A and B are shown apart, each in its own frame.
Chain A
Amino acid sequence: MSNPNGRFGIHGGQYIPEILMNAVNELEAAYNRYKDDPEFNAELQDLLDNYAGRPSRLYFAEKMTKDLGGAKIYLKREDLNHTGSHKINNVLGQALLAKKMGKTRLIAETGAGQHGVATATAAALMGMECVIFMGKEDTIRQALNV
């Protein structure tokens, strides 16, 4: 749980250049405005259920359990979501929020490409422009996602 200044214990905060401060303040205000808004949450839930394919399965890995011979192992299958990872959960929420804020363009970083693919997908769905920044090294090792 974070306190109002975005601290988790001693961690967190807002160590960013002054030029971005109003942007994060605007985002915080918009988030506070919408996070408990029934209409926003209904819209997001609909996207999660019908577009991302939630809820994701909790799968009992019986063979693995037997093979390892100890605790029962359950796998939470975020790999079964649309775009193939958990990243879509966050992206649908943020893209919807950005749309409510009147933004028309999404930018995102990506490492393995999963977040980039999820962001590009949400941008396509919501008719927003999209630019993804990916380390050149990663564009080589994860070429399938580019």
Chain B
Amino acid sequence: MNKLESVFTNNKVLIPFITCGDPNRDVTKAAVRAMVEGGADIIELGIPFSDPTAESPVVQASYDRALKVGTYADEIFELVSDLRKEITVPFVLVTYANPVFSYGTEDFIRKAASCGIDGIIIPDVPYEEKSEFAEICKEVGISLISVLAPTSTNRISMIAKDAEGFLYISADAGEGESSTVVSDVRAQGVTLPCVTSASISTAIQAKTAATYSDGVVLPSGVVELLEKYGTEAPSHIAEYIKEIKAALQA
């Protein structure tokens, strides 16, 4: 069992997402500390991209803010290295394929591993295209997280059989559909944890989603606080995460 899977033992897992460098790297560091303080189990670190075709407007705007202050791969590796000195919570990078490919896929993934990244999600790399990323991930011990969608149907068993870490049920799925995906996964005999990100931002939504999944992703709740409070956001983020975590444990 790898570090990501072990987080799921006896625990409904909470996975907030944050864009690195929004509005700057110091705030990102403080926000990550606040999420850990609030009880986050895994943290998704978004690498900003100029053309995030699959993101909500809230996340698109945060990518723009982060790019404005020049947050690219090397800056993010440095940020992660610094955080790793004090934080043991697993980190999962969320990035489009091009920033990885353009950096040099092998080089990027090796550096990510050496600074303490545990998993990576590349939303525009489906099962059919994953080998050019998966091989090097395997070698350095990073889980390349597989994504499932409500439209995956006949593809679920193929995808689930070589998935690692956890299965990510994509934000495009509505709540009812996400639960169907989870039961389809279980029907295939796959025991890997399933997390859902179906537009969850409130404690009630998180609690509902956790009734059928092993964990919930907060795709934009933290980003919204950063948008609203800027450099003052970290204390609000700690409160927010605490509230969601309490709902999941109740």
Contact = CB atoms under 8 A, between A and B. Distances in A.
Q: In the complex, are there CB atoms of A and B closer than 8 Å?
A: yes
Interface of A: 5, 13-23
Of the candidates B128, B147, B152, B154, the one having the most CB atoms from chain A within 10 angstroms of its own CB is B128
B128 to A, nearest CB: 6
The 5 closest A-B pairs by CB, nearest first: A19-B149, A18-B147, A18-B149, A19-B172, A15-B124
Given A21-B155, A22-B155, A16 B124 contact: yes
Interface residues of B, number: 22
B39 interface: no
Contacts, number: 52
A26 B127 CA distance: 16
Nearest to B54: A17
A20 B53 CA distance: 12
B4 to A, nearest CB: 19
23 contacts: A14-B129, A15-B97, A15-B124, A15-B125, A16-B124, A17-B123, A17-B147, A18-B127, A18-B147, A18-B149, A18-B152, A18-B155, A18-B159, A19-B150, A19-B152, A19-B170, A19-B173, A20-B151, A21-B126, A21-B127, A21-B149, A22-B152, A22-B155
Interface in B36-84: 54
Interface of B: 54, 97, 123-129, 147-155, 159, 170, 172-173
A13 B123 contact: no
B126 A17 contact: yes
B126 A14 contact: yes
Contacts of B148: 18
Nearest to B124: A15
Contacts of B150: 19
A16 B122 CA distance: 10
A13 to B, nearest CB: 6
A103 B128 CA distance: 25
A17 B149 contact: yes
A20 B150 CA distance: 10
B128 A5 contact: yes
A13 B155 contact: no
A138 B154 CA distance: 40
A13 B129 contact: yes
Nearest to B128: A14
Contacts of B154: 22
